[in-house]
Amino acid sequence: MKWRVVLYCLLGGLPLTMAALGAGHFPWWWLSGILMAVAFVPVALFGPRTALGQFALIAPVLLIVTVVCTLSEVVVFFPQYTQRALQDLRGGVIMYGILAVVLALLAWLLKLSRPTDLPVPHRSLSRAALMTAVSGLTYVLYYLVFGGITYQFFTKSYYPDGPQLVARLGLWFWGIELARGILMTLAVVPVIHTLRMKRWHTAIVVGLLIWILGGLAPLVAPNELMGPTQRLIHTVEIFTQNFPLGVTAVLLLRPRSAQIPAGIAAASSAGF
């Protein structure tokens, strides 16, 4: 099993080397892809057993967290690169779509799924919708607190016009961040509802997933917007925002098994 997991990570990282064709830095892009594959290992082991089911979990996280939400930050804080960001959106959808297909097929071909009868409890639809909105609000709180600390002590020199950009957007800025929090929560809902792991284990996995795909992995490869020190600072900053978001989303959306009838708990894990 261990060598198959290693193979999954090494082969799964190769689709991201497509970016090296135009930007160079092949080893860094491969490492970025490997990190993303590592983040999806729990999904390969304890998620759906079919390739289609794997794709249904992987694709939303990549396309929403890695592509849409990441590029939205570029548009806000680097408005001069808005046109470039829109062009990258199209390329990102293609590249990360291919990555999702490759990871889903690898999980199926390598037979990584592990049998387990652990139930996966769910909340009602109305309750889940409310908890998703609350999760988005907590992200705004994490963003405000940890983003503010990072700016005051580490990144003010990199973004001297930051306060003016935020002031210019007014309430729209916080609306954008709320939308990002809700979107990232929605992106991991399929993972939360299908991952056959204990509640707190799932919370840690989802927290790391949102951080790696929305912060660590995309910032590994050099880019024209940030130097190495700046990328490192943002990697840590995003951890303080995205990891708590993932943990919070699971704790809000996935009740303890004791909170639901045993028959429902057993039925919720059927078919995966």
> Which pLDDT tens digit goes with each residue over 129-165?
999 999 999 999 999 999 999 999 998 888 888 888 8
Task: Extract the tokens encoding 145.
Answer: 């607190």
Structural domain harbouring 160: 2-268
Instruction: Please name which of 55, 18, 16 lies closest in space to residue 35, comparing C-alpha atoms.
Output: 16
How much is the pLDDT for 272? 35
Contact by Cβ (8 Å): 218, 187: no
Q: What is the pLDDT of residue 88?
A: 80
Residues of the chain with pLDDT under 70: 257-272
pLDDT of residue 83: 79
pTM for this entry: 0.89
Counting the structural domains of the chain, the total is: 1
Alpha-carbon Rg of the chain, whole angstroms?
19
What pLDDT does 261 receive? Answer: 44
pLDDT score at 116: 80
